Amino acid sequence: MAFEHQVKRLKVFEDSTLVIYQLCGEWETRDAKLIPYHDHVKEIVESFDVVTFHHIPREENQMADALTTLSAMVQVNEGQEMTIHVRQQPRVAYCQHLSLEIIETNKGEYPEGASENSKRTLRRLASGFLLSRTTL
């Protein structure tokens, strides 16, 4: 899109410090799967007069993540424009309901219907906790 609008100065925001350091040349890209992507970005960077890379904490990058997800879900034909209205809510949105099963810990039994794999996982996880009377 920056090419289409003939942008000359580009600011790139990324939530991965590793990627920022690799693209700035401060760290080497060692993962063989990532080297072609790194090389491609370096080629693209040459098309601009100025490109700067900036780190943005992941918590502050939620809007970009949401737009990325949205762009993968919606098909827009070439030449077609789409307006996206963003409305911020003053409260937290709850999008998942969790139902919890109460497990009687003092019986020393596994939950009903637990598979052998689940039992092994429970044993492994439980080894990191201490139960003192009713306090975990």
Question: Which residue ranges make up each domain of the chain?
Answer: 9-59
Query: What is the sign of the dihedral through the CA atoms of 35, 59, 12 and 55?
Result: negative
| Spatial distance between the Cα atoms of 81 and 83, rounded to a whole number of angstroms | 7
121-136 tens-digit pLDDT: 888 877 776 666 666 5
| 28, 38 contact by CB (below 8 A) | no
Half-sphere exposure of 79 (CA within 13 A, CB side): 0
> Across the chain, where does the E strand assignment appear?
9-14, 50-55
| 52, 12 contact by CB (below 8 A) | yes
Token duo for residue 32: 């063989």
Q: What is the pTM of this model?
A: 0.46
16-70 tens-digit pLDDT: 888 889 988 889 999 899 899 999 999 989 989 999 988 888 777 777 778 778 7
